[in-house]
Chains A and B, each alone.
Chain A
Amino acid sequence: MTPTPLSVTVDEGTRVAIKHQGIGSSPVRPDGTLKVRGEFAYASDLWMEDMLCGVTLRSPHPYARIRSIDIGEALATPGVYAVLTHEDVPGQNRYGLEHADQPVLAEDVVRYQGEPVAVVAADHPEIARRAAGKITVDYEVLHPLTDARAALEPSAPRLHDGGNLVRHLKIRKGDHDPQPEADAVVVGEYSVGMQDQAFLGPESGLAVPSGDGGVELHVATQWLHADQKQICTALGLPPEMVRLTLSGVGGAFGGREDLSMHIHACLLARHTGNPVKMVYNREESFFGHVHRHPATMRYEHGVKRDGTIVYVRAELWLDGGAYASTTNAVTGNAGTMGIGPYVVPNVHLDCYGVYTNNPPCGAMRGFGAVQAAFAYESQLDKIADELGLDPVEVRCRNAMEQGSEAPTGQTVDSPAPVAELLRRLQAMPLPPEPATPGPVDLRDLPGGVSNTTHGEGVVRGIGYAVGYKNVGFSEGFDDYSTARVRLEVVGGEPTATVHTAAAEVGQGLITVEQQICRTELGVERVVVHPKDTRVGSGGSTSASRQTYVTGGAVRAACRKVRDRVLGVVQQRLGRTHADLRLDGGKVVSDAYGVLADLADVLRGEAFEETVEWRHRPTQPVDPETGQGFAHVQYAYSAHRAVVDVDVDLGLIKVVELACVQDVGKAINPQAVTGQIEGGTAQGLGLAVMEEIVVENGKIMNPSFTDYLIPTILDMPPMRIEVLEYPDPHAPYGLRGVGEPPTISSGPAVLQAIRAATGRWLTRVPVRPEHIIETGFGTASHRGQEGRVEHG
């Protein structure tokens, strides 16, 4: 009984097309054609004979005490195989990525709307759903705590034993009282709404009981081994008995770093002895994963007349919701990168990550750096405005560069071309001015074919922003990946097989692994083993880290294999060559040319090596000052946004987004561009539309009807420049790519809207009513509004 589908196969046609496609090229992705044709098998397509369907009963209340749970009627429903509550969790009823504070199934209290209370397995999804509806939970509804700042008041109810503070990160750098040196002080308060990852493939997985009493889980996830560890704790099983295989992932963006249905499906499978599939629908998905932390941020910048920043004082509050998830690390990022890629001698910053009864928040692309960037980039624009300076100039004057000291006190020890990114953007040509009277294509205007303007009220604005973020896990985390590489002859052809547990979530890691093997081993044919826990951890597919860390591991394993092969060659030749390499299926010496066919060297033998590879260690930061070598690498990007705003209706059309990003080395240039485009769109979404609206702890828009993500008419064409300044510490000099564009695009769009409207907007997403003064008849009427053309 093998569930379908499990592995990625590369067919003959694709194989020929990828000839000589090592690093620096853009081979066709094995999943590309399948996805475009709608044939790719996602986790929601998993299927097995005799499988049951699992559903989750969730709390309707953001905060309540559970008096009792009655499962009798549900269990008696024909077709139902199991109804489980917290009492059925054999191991520890707690899980979590950083702190195990989240119950697998709620015990005596629920802390957010949507918290799982019971799970049901039945032979049909509909029966399972109906049975779940028959579970009676007696709740004593409590008043939810929904404001992150209020949650820190001494009078606030304590949601967890340790209180409501998850983390307070402090940065203390430089003078205590630098204010006198400043010519001007610029103050601002900003807020960011709750964004969702909005991945298109909902949470899904299939748990299969195994003969040894263990379980096999096929699941769409970002980090197989972290899942495995948490599942083992909850099931009370050793890791050998909980085996995970990655299934087809339909987007992740951080939302699959935490567990969703994993433990539930395993519990049901072990309880019933049947395979159990759980798949969330779109609405449940909004309750089934963590979101981006909403933030309120207060900033004060002291500046010299020429724009030089003398000091920054800042306070940031991140609403972590009901459980910790990754709030600790998100707080660390928002704090340590809270002033942006600028050199500031004096920093006094406090960043708080807080528990509330709002939906839990955790990882999402940009991870703390996104929120802070809206605040610090707004401040830079405000400084420029108040001093009458060019916004790009002010940024360049303060820009971080190689050798600068970060607010953590660490020296930036690889290229940091912050000013260059901005200057290149500024030098790019602007898109043509809006069409002058005459026929217009509605799709080019704010509102699109909804036909709200033919040019009336439309004003253009331009905004710049730059952002940065750490690549890889920080603050002393043992951040490694494992790669197993085997080289052997298959069907007469030298073939490499690469096995890692690093999750492919759509970003293209499979292709990158193949490219690295081709470059290092000089073979064309590379088989990527299905991603599973039969090899050591690959670490998380997050923090823009997989090409760096798993790429580094694959390279290291390849080199070990290569060295062994070359050792054999030299043994057979009876002499040493210092200049051997593998290329095009041959053993090549620079001095003597081709020495042997790789296939002849390998003969019947398989050369296999497994390597655990780590980047340079980082350090925890000092709890009182935030000083320390916290981050192994930073990645930078900058955007220029050109935006047309219908200032009478508050509708927005982003006309162009230009981006310059340094990637160190573009391992796969097409994938790099794809990441920049996708990341930019996600940042734009946060700036103008994407928000989970939460009222009294309840989600008001858990659907794609009202949680809006950009369409092709919202996301403009891009101009992209990719720079390659190698980082001497990283494999191939590469820099993580996926997150930076999500950080700088939103602030650039926000500033462009401000430029167009003349309104100092301080909250994202910007809504039309923020641009228009609400209230009847108070808006200004510019342009040709309401005028009848003459002639």
Chain B
Amino acid sequence: MKRREFIQQASVGTTLITLGGVGLQSFTSAPSKKITILHTNDVHSHIDAFGPNDGRNSNKGGIARRASLIENIRKENPNTLLLDAGDIFQGTPYFNYYGGKLEFKLMSMLKYDAATIGNHDFDNGIDGLFAQLPHAKFQFLSANYDFSNTIMDTHTKPYNVFIKDGIKIGVFGLGIKLEGLVDKAMYKETKYLDPIEISQDMTRILKTEEQCDLIICLSHLGYNYKQNPDKISDLKLAAATKNIDLIIGGHTHTFLSKPTVIKNSEGKNVLVNQVGCYGINLGKIDFYFDSKKNKSANGKSIII
């Protein structure tokens, strides 16, 4: 008995020393870490590439090409998240014939990590969305749709924390107001909650409780409504909240030439990005982390 205890203690001691050495080393010269966020939005069942006679979209898009691009990016950096900001459904006969099954199966093949829900994802009713869930191996994140009185109850999460290379990445989802946009018979008892209030809750949880290093909002609110400045949009959300690092948007099919930088309520920078629609573009945002505090004291640099 005693001998065994001793051996154990001895082994513990040795391990400690060894690890301690490694630990100390990592304190002084930790290599910087890189997290890659890839994203799409409003793909609208565009599984095939556009043909040669499709105007400015000609010969662009196509999920098989996107798959090889993502595969190469993952080879280069395995610490990659792949996200979609909603409106996966509706736009080509693939959806009409198969009800979204192919879209979800293909996104699973591409190893999407999470998606939020767009208004068109209700086009076959909330039951139609529910029916395709078994084909999705990724998570549905929605913090401001209360599904508790619907068939979707417990099938979505408000947020998820992904850990890549020790970096905690909190992702939460936001959906657009459905009333007036989607027939009530389609979304049934889904309740829409205020995106700003919900974002304040989410960022508090993700920052304080979950201790995330990076907070991403996956939004289908729309980029900006110039004609309707009171309407909540990604730009308004970015300015009204704090602790969000990146808003990945959708709904307005906005082709930005580069991500937009907005000052949040604390005067810190937030990136707002959207990549148009139909799988024509893939957004790629790389976040570099360092463990040395002195660097961050000078603030982060944004290269866009």
Genuine A/B complex: no
List residues of A whose CB falls within 8 A of some B CB.
none
